[in-house]
Amino acid sequence: MQLAHQRLFIWCLIAALPIGAIAWGTLDDIRYKTKGADGNLWAPYMGRGYMVKGEEAPGTVAFTFDDGPDHRTTPVLLNQLDRYGIKAAFFINGARFHPRTAGGPENQAVLRDIYRRGHYLGNHTFNHKDITRLTESGWRTEVLQVEQVLRGVIGRRPWLFRPPFGRVNDTGLARLGREGYTVVMWNLDPLDWKATDAADLLNRTRDVIEQNPKGGVFLFHDTNRTTIQAFPLIIEWIRERNSRLRAEGSPTLDIVGLEHYIRSKR
């Protein structure tokens, strides 16, 4: 009887796989999406009108990347993130993956891969415009059009928003909140766009961490080749630093996803 029950359970499991594939994507997608740290599973809980500043989860760091995707650089970063088991947040510009933009189709493929691998996707406007200066028409173009194009690529809208240049006013915050967005700022900025090479960016990152020993939210750009080259060096340095601090009995910095920062707001 027990053997019969086991066979029935296995048969039901096999039969359920096509249903899971329909709900979550292909069987290859399911391999990613059943991970506990999957941003796709957390995403619907993110749109609560909060503001993340980077101080909400002391003792941790979260990685965010702006201005992509870029088919020439982002795929390399995605492989690095997989290698280290890190879930990041990508704040995307709609112009990068609009079907009529040069490189748009290639960037759409990268966008689907970001989603498939379980990273967070956030709205960073269509053309990287200052939202404090937008008219009603501009708002529809810069904010709402990103939602429409993204739905056409992955079938879902974003729930996270990062204002270009970090500029946002009370009016913008109120509207973003009504539209279900959580605004994600940052407090760790190594200014990767200024770095001359990977070693320089590693040093900049070290300085930022030493100035902010409790950690926070990193701002990087996945369109920057220097950032892609430096990322493994940065992760290895954080790991080495943690090992040294742990041996000394001092606080370390865990690498986490943005859900840790948003959960603390709730």
Closest CA to 217 of 162, 143, 180, 150: 162
Q: Is 49 in the same domain as 12?
A: no
Reported as a single tens digit per residue, the pLDDT across 174-225 is 999 999 999 999 999 999 999 999 999 999 999 999 999 999 999 999 999 9
Which burial class, exposed, middle or buried, applies to 5 when counting CB atoms under 10 A from its CB (0-12, 13-18, 19+)? exposed
Residue 2 has pLDDT above 90, yes or no: no
Q: Is 23 in the same domain as 77?
A: no
Q: What angle do CA 45, 49, 145 make, to 5 degrees?
A: 90
Distances (CA, A) of 165 to 32, 66, 70, 124, 186: 33, 11, 20, 10, 11
- DSSP letter string over 182-236? EEE--SB---GGG-SSHHHHHHHHHHHHHH-TTEEEEEEETT-HHHHHHHHHHHH
Q: Is 59 in the same domain as 94?
A: yes
Q: Is 101 in the same domain as 1?
A: no
Helix/strand/coil for 254? strand
Which CATH number goes with the domain that contains 81? Answer: 3.20.20.370
Helix/strand/coil for 249? coil
In this predicted structure, what is the pLDDT of residue 15? 45
Q: How many CB atoms lie within 10 A of CB 229?
A: 17
Please give the residue range of the domain that contains residue 140: 39-265
Q: Is 144 in the same domain as 244?
A: yes
Q: Is 16 in the same domain as 129?
A: no
Q: Is 43 in the same domain as 9?
A: no
Q: Is 26 in the same domain as 118?
A: no
String of b and e for 60-70 (b: at least 16 CB within 10 Å)?
Answer: bbbbbbbbbbb
Q: What is the pTM of this model?
A: 0.85
Reported as a single tens digit per residue, the pLDDT across 92-119 is 999 999 888 888 999 999 999 999 999 9
Residue pair 63/196 in contact (Cβ under 8 Å)? The answer is: no
More confident residue, 224 or 38: 224
Q: Is 24 in the same domain as 131?
A: no
In this predicted structure, what is the pLDDT of residue 32? 40
Q: Is 63 in the same domain as 149?
A: yes
- Count of domains for the chain: 2
Q: How many Å is the maximal CA-CA distance in the chain?
A: 71
Q: Is 150 in the same domain as 202?
A: yes
Q: Is 119 in the same domain as 22?
A: no
The DSSP H or E segment spanning 243 is helix 225-248
Specify the pairing of strand 89-92 against strand 60-66: parallel
Rounded Cα gap, residues 11 and 124, in angstroms: 45
